[in-house]
Amino acid sequence: MKVNPWATTLAKCMAFLGVFLGLLYSFGGLIVDLLTVGLNWGTAMAFGALIIMPIALGTVGFICGLISHLIMGFIKKQLA
């Protein structure tokens, strides 16, 4: 089965966005925890975003890429 190149490209872009947002979220959470109540379980969960956010956004990007490919294929058939 051939994988749609648009879906993989969108998945990669969204995964990189997830890495950036995960870094922003985790270090932002670390700074807030250091300035307020101290390090706790919430800090560990914030650093879990470094793993979860790229996976989640990459999956969403792949699914959106597949759906957009199907929609574009349908539109091309209707216009042809």
pLDDT at 1: 65
pLDDT at 13: 96
**Measured between alpha carbons, how far is residue 37 from residues 21, 47, 80 in Å?**
23, 17, 63
Residue 64 is encoded by which pair of tokens? Answer: 């959106």
Rounded CA gap, 51 and 59, in Å? 13
- Backbone phi, psi, residue 39, to 5°: -70, 135
pLDDT at 46: 84
- What does the pLDDT profile of the chain (80 residues) look like in tens digits? 687 888 999 999 999 999 999 999 999 888 888 888 877 887 888 888 899 999 999 999 999 999 999 999 999 999 98
